[in-house]
Amino acid sequence: MNLLQRTACSFADSGEQLDPPIAPSVLMVDDAPAVDPPEKGPLGAHRDARELVRLVQCPCCSKPFTSPVTLPCGHSVCRDCLPSPQPRPNISYPNTPDRQLAIACPTPTCAAEHPTGECNIDVTLAKLMELIKAEVAKHNTAVGDNPVLLEEFLNYSSGPVGEKERGNRTAHQRRLHGGRLVSTFVMADMGELHHTSDVVYHPMGEDSEDLDSAVLERLQDVAHRELDCLVCYNMMLDPTTTACGHTFCRRCLTRVMDHSNICPCCRRDLHIPASLQDQPSNERLVKLLNRLCPDLVASRAAALSLEEQPAVDELDVPLFVCTLSLPSMPTFLHIFEPRYRLMMRRCLEGNKQFGMIMYNRSGALQGDLGASSFVEYGTLLEIVNYELLRDGRSFVETRGVSRFKILAHGMLDGYDVGRVERVEDLSLAQEERLEAEERLAAEATAQETRRINPDAQLSAELQVNMLSTQDLLVRTVSFIERMRAHSAPWLSARILHVYGGPPNDPALFPYWFASVLPIAEEEKYLLLKTNRVRERLKMVNNWISRIEGQRWTSGSSCSIL
Amino acid sequence: MSLPKRIIKETERLMADPVPGISAVPHEDNLRYFDVTIEGPSQSPYEKGIFQLELFLPDDYPMTPPKIRFLTKIYHPNIDRLGRICLDVLKSNWSPALQIRTILLSIQALLGAPNPDDPLANDVAQDWKKDEKGAIETARQWTQQYAK
Ligand SMILES: [Zn+2]
Ligand SMILES: [Zn+2]
Ligand SMILES: [Zn+2]
Ligand SMILES: [Zn+2]
């Protein structure tokens, strides 16, 4: 076989009676090893018979798969096409029996060695092949007509690589029956159709188009039945195969791994990182699904993306019920509950944000939410650092982004989700106006009180209301300085390392102060409801007054603070 | 929250192809909540009994197992007074590849083969081990009395 002969072949194609093979022009290109039509889209039974059969041909023996094994690299070969296992020198961990031997991957694009423990029969693909073979056999014996002459058309690269590929291959010719699809499959099964070869069809009788379509329909039916995921009962989406040979939607498998590290089907250990980050998809099943049921794959993918990204007015904020977080401040989380693992993964794939809310420990009514188990205000957190451990737990470093109020909530796959409204500060103009009004009113009250009784003690609230917002800040800062001078443990280097020093922005300052100050979270929580800087600074000052009062009344400098 | 395809399919299959001696009917207003009846297996002290159970599919089903308990009083070493069932596949041995059908079959099998060595109801298990004949007789009486 050489280039000349190829030319001769495509020349023959121009004959009137002969259907041309797929795009002869492509065949003329020397270094195209195989004709690969676009990756997706439906295949016609008659037109693309060759392409359809290629979907189930082993890259090693070129026959339709027998007992296929899907390797950790995502490629499939017949079990008998695996080279014999070799010992793996210099590997002492984990050193389990199923990992002491390995096979050199026989697929052309993978140079890896795969431990024998990870080379198991692909249960789904094996079953599918059995059914396909049975279906073909039915038509092969039942239909003696629709004869067709198949002429193999070798493809190989040019140059020395091509010389090697070619070896002593010769193109085959066969007169078979049962239409194009069945006859092509039979030719491959006879070992007379290399997986890279193309076929030129010379019809010998009536047109087999209807028959081919009928056969394909049966095969699609079989595929549809067999390629259901055992977890979600939908057609597999992005099928991913475990070392034990069981296949699930990638999403389903990751969800399974949020809960356990064993295969749902056979309960063998799944020695893969829970994220499946580096786990390739089952290449063959992906191709089969894309080519046999493209519409179903598309609608399923669309349904899923809808499910994963709800519309704006939906319950679109995942809610983590755990602790108090504050805007601009860090929160460190150790994620181990399966439902939160799922939530974190979705967050990482999405906008990296989720809501943090506290439990409603006091049982107080939460506005429109009523007697809810969690409080109605929370902080939106953004993931800044994510460390996934091998067992699926993770350490997450987050930073508070903004505050929110929960308007409605529900459950999604075991965790809370909500529709939230952002809680924001009033405009600066309003902030100023309200400060002025408050101070004027307080001043007036104070004067009136003194007028009645010059020795009267002004209430703490009044005293605070008389202060300027700036003074409130100054008081807080000086309190911190005093505490630092006393080496208060809550201002230790360790804590300052985590939360940083006091921020310059007075709007954020209270959040920092609350983060380091050892008082009840329920008190700090009130900051989330505020809509003015002044309001927050007043709260902070009240805490300070109380703490200092305690210190004075206890008469001890050895305060717990 | 719309019902996952899996739950819809499982329900359809339970209706179209029911398991002999077992029925599971979802509530109209909550399709995750099922009224279940299981007939006591023949050759067991629960024979001829009709046991009512409730089954609930939690939000993260099938990642977590269905929640299920007996509503009918039953004398069984692996079922306590609250109707809770000690069955490995409902706990640590749950797998998302299992389903409502297989779980109900397991429960029916548990009625046919009480296991006093892995008890939930300790007092019942002790009776069972001490005086199996007497325990079986009690189970039979309870079945006649409550599982009608
Ligand atoms: Zn490989
Ligand atoms: Zn092979
Ligand atoms: Zn699935
Ligand atoms: Zn498995």
Q: Is the pLDDT of residue A7 over 60?
A: no
Q: Are residues A274 and A233 in the same domain?
A: yes
Longest dimension (CA), chain A: 119
- What integer pLDDT is reported at residue B83 of this predicted model? 93
Reply yes or no on whether B86 is catalytic: yes
Highest mean pLDDT out of A140-144, A485-489, A557-561: A485-489
- From chain A, the residues in CB contact with B63 under 8 A are 255-256, 258-259, 338, 413-414
Contact (CB, 8 A) for B77 and B125? yes
Asked if the structure places residue A298 within a domain, the reply is: yes
Asked if the structure places residue A56 within a domain, the reply is: no
Per-residue pLDDT band at B17 (split at 50, 70, 90) = very high
Q: Is the pLDDT of residue A112 over 50?
A: yes
- What integer pLDDT is reported at residue A470 of this predicted model? 85
| Domain membership of residue A466 as a residue range | 428-549
CA A515 to chain centre: 32
- Nearest partner of B18 among B43, B37, B40, judged by Cα: B37
Q: Are residues A432 and A517 in the same domain?
A: yes
**Residue where a domain terminates, one of A281, A307, A333:** A307
Asked if the structure places residue A218 within a domain, the reply is: no
Separation between Cα atoms, residue A136 and residue A303, nearest integer Å: 33
Size of interface A-B (CB pairs under 8 A): 45
Domain count, chain A: 3
Asked if the structure places residue A490 within a domain, the reply is: yes
Per-residue pLDDT band at A19 (split at 50, 70, 90) = very low
Per-residue pLDDT band at A558 (split at 50, 70, 90) = very low
Q: Are residues A524 and A456 in the same domain?
A: yes
Contact (CB, 8 A) for B76 and B89? no
Beta bridge partners of A331: A398
Q: Which residue of A has its CA nearest to B64?
A: A259
Per-residue pLDDT band at A529 (split at 50, 70, 90) = very high
**Catalytic pick from B22, B36, B68, B86?**
B86
Supply the mean pLDDT for chain A: 83
Q: Is the pLDDT of residue A158 over 60?
A: yes
- Nearest partner of A244 among A359, A334, A123, judged by Cα: A123
DSSP state, residue B34: E
User: What count of other Cβ atoms lies within 10 Å of the Cβ of residue A430?
Assistant: 12
Which tens digit of pLDDT belongs to each residue from A346-358?
998 888 899 999 9
Q: Is the pLDDT of residue A34 over 80?
A: no
CA A73 to chain centre: 19
Q: Is the pLDDT of residue A501 over 90?
A: no
- What integer pLDDT is reported at residue A166 of this predicted model? 67
ipTM of the modeled complex: 0.86
Beta bridge partners of A354: A381
**What's the CATH number where A239 sits?**
3.30.40.10
Q: Are residues A471 and A387 in the same domain?
A: no
- What integer pLDDT is reported at residue A440 of this predicted model? 87
Q: Are residues A475 and A451 in the same domain?
A: yes
Which tens digit of pLDDT belongs to each residue from B48-96?
999 999 999 998 899 989 999 999 999 999 999 899 999 989 988 899 9
- What integer pLDDT is reported at residue A29 of this predicted model? 32
- From chain B, the residues in CB contact with A258 under 8 A are 63
| Domain membership of residue B36 as a residue range | 5-147
Write out the two tokens for A80.
């008998």
Contact (CB, 8 A) for A381 and A322? no
Q: Is the pLDDT of residue B2 over 50?
A: yes
Q: Are residues A267 and A337 in the same domain?
A: no
Q: Which residue of B has its CA nearest to A232?
A: B6
Backbone phi and psi for residue B70, each to the nearest 5 degrees, phi listed first: -75, 135
Longest dimension (CA), chain B: 51
Distance from CA of A232 to the nearest CA of B (A): 5
**What's the CATH number where A362 sits?**
2.30.130.40
Q: Are residues A262 and A346 in the same domain?
A: no
DSSP state, residue B9: H
Q: Are residues A251 and A330 in the same domain?
A: no
- What integer pLDDT is reported at residue A13 of this predicted model? 34
Q: Are residues A508 and A529 in the same domain?
A: yes
Average pLDDT over residues A167-191: 89
Length of chain A in terms of residues written: 561
- Nearest partner of A6 among A207, A156, A178, judged by Cα: A156
DSSP string, B35-74: EEEEEPPTTSTTTT-EEEEEEE--TTTTTSPPEEEE-S--
- What integer pLDDT is reported at residue A491 of this predicted model? 87
Q: Are residues A330 and A405 in the same domain?
A: yes
**Residue where a domain terminates, one of A356, A387, A422:** A422
Contact B63 A259 (CB under 8 A): yes
Order across the sheet with A113-115: list the strands: A86-87, A101-104, A113-115
Contact A411 B6 (CB under 8 A): no
Backbone phi and psi for residue B12, each to the nearest 5 degrees, phi listed first: -55, -45
Rounded to a whole number of angstroms, the CA Rg of chain B reads 16
Per-residue pLDDT band at A403 (split at 50, 70, 90) = very high
Q: Is the peptide bond before B58 cis (omega within 30 degrees of 0)?
A: no
Q: Are residues A436 and A504 in the same domain?
A: yes
Between A3-12, A156-165, A315-324, A331-340, the lowest mean confidence (pLDDT) is in: A3-12
Asked if the structure places residue A321 within a domain, the reply is: yes
Give the three-state DSSP class for A559.
coil
Distance from CA of A231 to the nearest CA of B (A): 6
Q: How far is CA B126 from CA A166, B78, B110, B136, in A?
A: 77, 11, 17, 12
Asked if the structure places residue A323 within a domain, the reply is: yes
- Nearest partner of B3 among B12, A166, A42, judged by Cα: B12
Contact A256 B96 (CB under 8 A): yes
Which candidate in A339, A413, A415, A417 is best for mutational testing of the B interface (most B CBs within 10 A)?
A413
**What's the CATH number where B35 sits?**
3.10.110.10
Q: How far is CA A482 from CA A426, A502, A542, A558, in A?
A: 32, 14, 17, 14
Judged by its nearest atom, the ligand closest to the C-alpha of residue A267 is 4
Which tens digit of pLDDT belongs to each residue from A245-300?
999 999 999 888 877 878 999 999 887 766 677 789 999 999 999 988 888 888 88
| Dist. CA A255 → ligand 3 center (Å) | 10
Which tens digit of pLDDT belongs to each residue from B84-138?
999 989 988 899 999 999 999 999 999 999 988 877 777 888 888 899 999 999 9
Contact (CB, 8 A) for A103 and A119? yes
- From chain A, the residues in CB contact with B1 under 8 A are 410-412
Q: Which residue of A has its CA nearest to B8?
A: A233
Q: Are residues A352 and A397 in the same domain?
A: yes
**Residue where a domain terminates, one of A393, A422, A451:** A422
Which tens digit of pLDDT belongs to each residue from A505-520?
888 999 999 999 989 9
Domain count, chain B: 1
Q: Is the pLDDT of residue A71 over 90?
A: yes
Order across the sheet with B22-26: list the strands: B22-26, B33-39, B50-56, B67-70
